[in-house]
């Protein structure tokens, strides 16, 4: 079982993940703070959108690189690299979700986890 990190560290990890998303011009970046949500699977979900398969790959690779550079961590689990609709990088306490724009609306994570404190990150 993966080791849980303390809150301040999951906040730092969240910041680094957002930076990785921003490096590749991800859009509609949202941080969902799940720490007060009963039975939440992580401290934070960070969600963003991309326009193409190539951009989704670039965003996921950038998140991976930024997190390793800053914190020397690799994701515990990665999903969706092949289907290019919804890529997930699971760092245990923080999970990055990289959606193709149309699929994000379909899955509607923000509505599904409506009890979360949601912070929208302004684009450049």
CATH number of the domain bearing residue 14: 3.30.460.10
Segment 92-109 shows an average pLDDT of 92
pLDDT number for residue 3 = 46
For residue 84 the two structure tokens come to: 């290019």
Does a structural domain hold residue 3?
no
Does a structural domain hold residue 61?
yes
Per-residue pLDDT at 42 exceeds 80: yes
Does a structural domain hold residue 45?
yes
Least confident of 14-23, 69-78, 113-122: 113-122
For the beta carbon of residue 34, count every other beta carbon within 10 angstroms.
Answer: 21
Tens digit of pLDDT for each residue in 63-76?
Answer: 999 999 999 999 99
pLDDT number for residue 26 = 97
Does a structural domain hold residue 50?
yes
pLDDT number for residue 49 = 96
Per-residue pLDDT at 124 exceeds 80: no
Does a structural domain hold residue 43?
yes
Does a structural domain hold residue 116?
yes
- Reference 48, options 71, 25, 81, 72; nearest CA is 25
Domain residue limits at 15: 8-120
Does a structural domain hold residue 2?
no
- Round to whole Å and give the CA distance between 19 and 83: 24
Tens digit of pLDDT for each residue in 50-98?
Answer: 999 999 999 999 999 999 999 999 999 999 988 889 999 999 999 999 9
User: How many separate domains does the chain show?
Assistant: 1
pLDDT number for residue 8 = 60
Does a structural domain hold residue 86?
yes
- Round to whole Å and give the CA distance between 47 and 59: 11
CB 18 within 8 Å of CB 70? no
């Amino acid at each position: 079982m993966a080791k849980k990190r303390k809150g301040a560290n999951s906040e730092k990890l969240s910041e680094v993940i957002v930076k990785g998303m921003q490096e590749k011009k991800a859009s509609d970046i949202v941080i969902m703070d799940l720490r007060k949500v009963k039975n939440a699977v992580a401290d934070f979900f960070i969600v963003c959108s991309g326009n193409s398969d190539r951009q989704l790959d670039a965003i996921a690779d950038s998140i991976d690189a930024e997190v390793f550079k800053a914190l020397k961590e690799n994701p515990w689990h990665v999903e969706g690299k092949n289907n290019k609709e919804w890529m997930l990088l699971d760092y245990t306490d923080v999970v990055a979700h990289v959606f193709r724009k149309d699929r994000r609306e379909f899955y509607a994570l923000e509505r599904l986890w409506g009890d979360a404190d949601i912070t929208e990150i302004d684009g450049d």
